C-alpha cells in the first residue's frame, strides 16, 4: 500500500462570490404567492338518511421513480449489507451484473433529457467506457456516484481519468475535503478537479463517496490450484471485509458475537454471500457442501507490544501447518480457507468452514443413542489416521527432500470440531483443528524439543512435569488416549457421566485441584488410581460392549502410559483402530450387545 505524503491543495474551482451574493439577494428572489383559501366541500346526503356522507376519495397514482432512483434502490436491495450496518457491500463483477449496459444507457439518456449531462456525450461510447470495453473499468466509480445521487457527473469523472484501478481515493482535510488519487504514471498523488465544484459537491457528498469506495470493493477470497491452496493477503486499515449482516436463510449476524475464546484468540460466526467468495469447490471436495454460507473467523489479538512478536509467530506457524495438513490431505483435518492480516489493527485472521460445535459442546448437546457406537468407531479411526498424517507427513517429505515428523501439541476436545452434515450424512464428522502449536521437524531433531509451558492442562502428558524430559510425538498419544476415554464414558452415560468422571479424578496437585489423568509419586508419574478405577467402572457397566472393551484396552495399555517411550506409535494405533472399525461394520452385536469382561481383563 502506498504511503500518503503531505498533500498540497491546488487552485480550487468554487462558485463566483458575486453570483452567490446575487442568488442570495432578496430582490432577486420571487415573492411567494398567497395560498388560495380552501373551498368548503359540499356535504353529500344519503338517500335514506339526513346524515352527511364522507366526500368521495381521490386515488392518486404513485409517482414513477426515475432511472437513477430505481438503480439506487436496486443497489441497496440486491446487495447484502455489511455486518452490523445498513451499508451494502459489493465487488466489481457483482456490480457489472446489476448495472447492465441497457441500465447505464437509460440512465445517461435520462440525464441528457434533464440537462444534467451534455447532449454532445456519446451515450453508447460512455457506457462502454464505464463497463471497461477496451478501457479500464469504471463500474465501481459509477455505482459510487449513483449512491450519492451524482451519477450525472460520470463524464467529468472519466475526463479526470478516474477509473476503478485508480481507487482508493484519499481525502485531505475532512472539514473542507480535497480528494486525491494516485497517479501510477507519475508515481505521485494528483488532486482531482472533478470534485472541486462546490455547487455540485458538498462536504458530506465528498466524504460519502470516499466511504462508499470501501464498501463496493470488498476483497474476493478464493482458494487456488489443484491442491486448493488457501487465500493469503494483507489488507489496508480501511478495507471492508465481505461479512454480510444476514444469511440466505434469514439468520441475522452480529459482528460482536463470539462463539469461543482461546488464550489470544476469539472465534466468530460470519456469513459470506455465495457471490463473494471462491470456496465452493473446496467445500464440495471435503464433503461440506456450501455450508449455508457460514464460516468461522478466528481472530488472533495482540494486547501489548511484547505479545506482538509472539502472536505473529503463532500466526505464521499455524498458517504453515494448516497449509500442510488440511481436509484435502485428510478428511479428519480442518481446512484453512484464508489467512490474512489487516494493517493498524494488530490482528491476524483465519477463515475456516463453520463447524456446528467442538467435541466438548457435542458431548453436552447430544445424547448418546443406540447405534452411535458404530459412528464413533469410524470417528476414532479417522482421528487416529489424521494424527498419523501429522506425525508422518509423507507428502511433505518428498518436497523437503528428507523424512520429517510432526506433532500437534495441543489435542483436547475443544480442538476437535464437529461438522454436520458431512457428505449428506447428518451424523457428520469429527476433525482435528488448531495447529498453532504444531511442529514439524527432521528425524534428528524430533526428540530434542525441550519441554515448555503446558498448553492443555487437563490432557497434558507427564513428561511436561519432568525436568529435562524430551517432548516427542507420543505427547499427542497420551492426550488422544484421555479424549478417547472420555468418549467411551459419554457413550455409556452422556455428559452427566463425563462430569462424574471429572469430579472423581479432581485431586490437589501442587496446592491446586486439577483433573489431569496422572499424579507424581516420589518424582515419578503414575496414572491416577481414580482413572484406573473409572476404567474398571466402564468395563463392568451393564451396557458396556465388546467395542467399548476393545477401546478401553488400547487406551489403558498403549496410550495413557506414564513413560512416553512405552506408548504405542500412532502408526501402530492406526492399525488397531482400523481393525475395531472393521469389526463394527461386520456385525452389529460387536457394538450393541452387552459384553461381560473376564477377570483377567480388569485393571489391577
For 206, the 3-state DSSP assignment is helix
Say what the pLDDT of residue 398 is.
46
Instruction: Assess contact for 274 and 280: CB atoms under 8 A.
Output: yes
The answer to whether the beta carbons of residues 162 and 181 sit under 8 Å apart is yes
The radius of gyration computed from the CA coordinates of the chain, to the nearest angstrom, equals 34
Whole-angstrom distance, CA of residue 147 vs CA of residue 152: 12
Q: What's the pTM?
A: 0.83
Q: Between 401 and 283, where is the model more confident?
A: 283
Res 287: pLDDT: 95
- pLDDT value of residue 315: 85
Please name the residue ranges forming H helices in 36-122: 67-78, 92-98, 101-113
Considering the domain 228-353 in this protein, what is its CATH number?
3.30.200.20
Burial 53-78 (b: 16+ CB within 10 A, else e): eeeeeeeeeeeeeebbeebbeebeee
Q: Write out the H or E segment, with its range, that includes residue 281.
A: helix 280-285
SS3 569: coil
| 352 vs 382: CA distance, rounded Å | 20
- What's the pLDDT at 51? 53
263 against 409, higher pLDDT: 409
Q: What is the pLDDT of residue 445?
A: 40
| 481-518 pLDDT per residue, tens | 999 999 999 999 999 999 999 999 999 887 888 999 99
pLDDT at 539: 96
Domain boundaries, the chain: 67-216, 228-353, 357-393+407-438+455-592
pLDDT in tens, 242-281: 999 888 777 888 755 555 545 567 889 999 999 999 999 9
CA distance 469 to 452: 10
**pLDDT band at residue 19 under the 50/70/90 scheme:** very low
Scored b (16 or more CB within 10 A) or e, 410-441 reads bbbbbbbbbbeebeeeebbbbbbbbbbbbbbe
Closest alpha carbon to 242 in 223, 260, 267, 216: 216
The CATH number corresponding to 357-393+407-438+455-592 among 3.30.70.1290, 1.20.1050.10, 3.40.50.2300, 1.10.510.10 equals 1.10.510.10
Size of the chain in residues: 604
- Give the cell for residue 29: 428572489
- Given CA atoms 534, 540, 541, 547 in this order, what sign does their dihedral have? positive
Nearest Cα neighbor of 163 from 188, 197, 129, 193 is: 129
CA-based nearest residue to 43, from 29, 58, 33, 54: 54
Asked, colleague to colleague, whether 228-353 and 357-393+407-438+455-592 share their fold, the answer is no
Residue-wise DSSP of 508-535? EETTEEE--SEEEETTEEEE-HHHHHHH
Beta bridge partners of 44: 53
Amino acid at each position: 500500500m502506498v504511503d500518503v505524503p503531505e498533500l498540497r491543495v491546488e487552485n480550487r474551482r468554487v462558485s463566483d462570490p458575486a453570483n452567490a451574493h446575487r442568488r442570495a439577494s432578496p430582490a432577486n428572489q420571487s415573492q411567494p404567492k398567497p395560498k388560495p383559501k380552501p373551498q368548503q366541500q359540499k356535504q353529500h346526503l344519503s338517500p335514506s338518511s339526513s346524515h352527511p356522507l364522507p366526500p368521495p376519495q381521490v386515488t392518486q397514482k404513485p409517482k414513477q421513480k426515475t432511472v437513477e432512483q430505481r438503480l439506487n434502490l436496486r443497489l441497496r436491495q440486491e446487495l447484502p449489507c455489511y455486518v452490523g450496518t445498513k451499508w451494502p457491500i459489493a465487488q466489481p463483477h457483482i456490480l457489472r451484473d446489476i448495472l447492465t449496459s441497457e441500465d447505464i444507457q437509460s440512465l445517461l439518456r435520462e440525464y441528457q433529457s434533464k440537462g444534467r449531462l451534455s447532449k454532445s456525450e456519446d451515450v453508447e461510447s460512455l457506457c462502454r467506457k464505464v463497463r471497461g470495453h477496451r478501457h479500464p473499468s469504471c463500474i465501481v466509480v459509477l455505482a459510487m456516484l449513483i449512491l450519492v445521487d451524482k451519477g450525472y457527473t460520470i463524464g467529468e469523472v472519466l475526463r479526470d481519468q478516474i477509473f476503478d484501478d485508480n481507487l482508493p481515493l484519499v481525502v485531505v482535510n475532512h472539514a473542507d475535503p480535497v480528494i486525491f488519487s494516485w497517479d501510477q504514471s507519475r508515481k505521485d498523488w494528483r488532486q482531482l478537479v472533478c470534485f472541486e465544484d462546490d455547487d455540485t459537491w458538498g462536504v458530506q457528498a465528498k466524504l460519502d463517496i470516499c466511504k462508499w469506495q470501501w464498501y463496493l470493493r470488498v476483497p474476493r477470497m478464493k482458494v487456488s490450484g489443484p491442491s486448493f491452496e488457501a487465500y493469503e493477503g494483507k489488507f489496508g486499515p480501511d478495507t471492508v471485509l465481505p461479512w454480510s449482516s444476514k444469511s440466505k436463510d434469514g439468520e441475522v449476524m452480529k459482528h460482536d458475537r463470539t462463539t469461543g475464546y482461546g488464550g489470544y484468540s476469539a472465534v466468530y460466526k460470519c456469513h459470506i454471500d455465495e457471490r463473494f467468495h471462491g470456496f465452493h469447490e473446496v467445500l464440495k471436495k471435503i464433503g461440506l457442501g456450501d455450508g449455508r454460507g457460514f464460516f468461522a473467523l478466528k481472530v488472533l489479538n495482540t494486547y501489548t507490544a511484547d505479545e506482538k512478536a509472539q502472536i505473529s509467530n503463532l500466526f505464521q506457524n499455524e498458517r504453515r501447518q494448516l497449509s500442510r495438513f488440511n481436509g484435502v490431505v485428510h478428511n479428519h483435518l480442518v481446512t484453512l480457507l484464508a489467512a490474512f492480516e489487516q494493517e493498524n489493527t494488530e490482528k491476524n485472521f483465519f477463515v475456516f468452514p463453520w463447524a456446528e460445535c467442538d467435541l466438548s459442546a457435542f458431548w453436552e448437546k447430544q445424547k448418546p443413542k443406540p447405534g452411535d457406537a458404530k459412528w464413533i468407531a469410524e470417528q476414532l479411526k479417522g482421528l487416529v489416521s489424521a494424527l498419523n498424517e501429522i506425525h508422518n507427513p509423507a507428502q511433505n517429505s518428498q518436497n523437503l527432500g528428507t523424512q520429517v515428523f510432526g506433532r500437534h501439541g495441543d489435542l483436547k476436545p475443544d480442538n476437535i470440531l464437529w461438522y454436520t452434515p458431512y457428505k449428506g450424512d447428518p451424523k457428520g464428522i469429527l476433525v482435528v483443528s488448531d495447529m498453532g502449536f504444531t511442529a514439524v521437524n527432521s528425524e534428528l531433531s524430533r526428540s530434542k524439543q525441550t519441554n515448555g509451558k503446558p498448553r492443555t492442562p487437563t490432557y497434558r502428558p507427564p513428561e511436561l512435569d519432568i525436568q529435562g524430559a524430551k517432548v516427542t510425538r507420543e505427547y499427542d498419544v497420551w492426550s488422544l488416549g484421555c479424549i478417547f476415554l472420555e468418549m467411551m464414558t459419554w457413550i455409556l452415560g452422556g455428559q452427566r457421566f463425563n462430569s462424574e468422571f471429572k469430579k472423581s479424578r479432581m485431586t490437589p496437585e501442587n496446592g491446586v485441584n486439577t483433573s489431569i489423568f496422572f499424579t507424581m509419586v516420589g518424582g515419578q508419574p503414575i496414572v491416577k488410581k481414580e482413572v484406573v478405577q473409572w476404567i474398571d467402572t466402564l468395563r463392568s457397566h451393564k451396557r458396556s460392549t465388546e467395542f467399548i472393551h476393545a477401546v478401553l484396552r488400547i487406551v489403558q495399555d498403549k496410550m495413557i502410559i506414564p513413560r512416553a517411550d512405552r506408548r504405542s506409535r500412532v502408526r501402530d494405533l492406526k492399525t488397531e483402530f482400523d481393525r475395531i472399525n472393521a469389526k463394527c461394520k461386520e456385525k452389529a452385536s460387536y457394538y450393541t450387545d452387552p459384553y461381560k469382561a473376564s477377570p483377567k481383563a480388569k485393571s489391577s
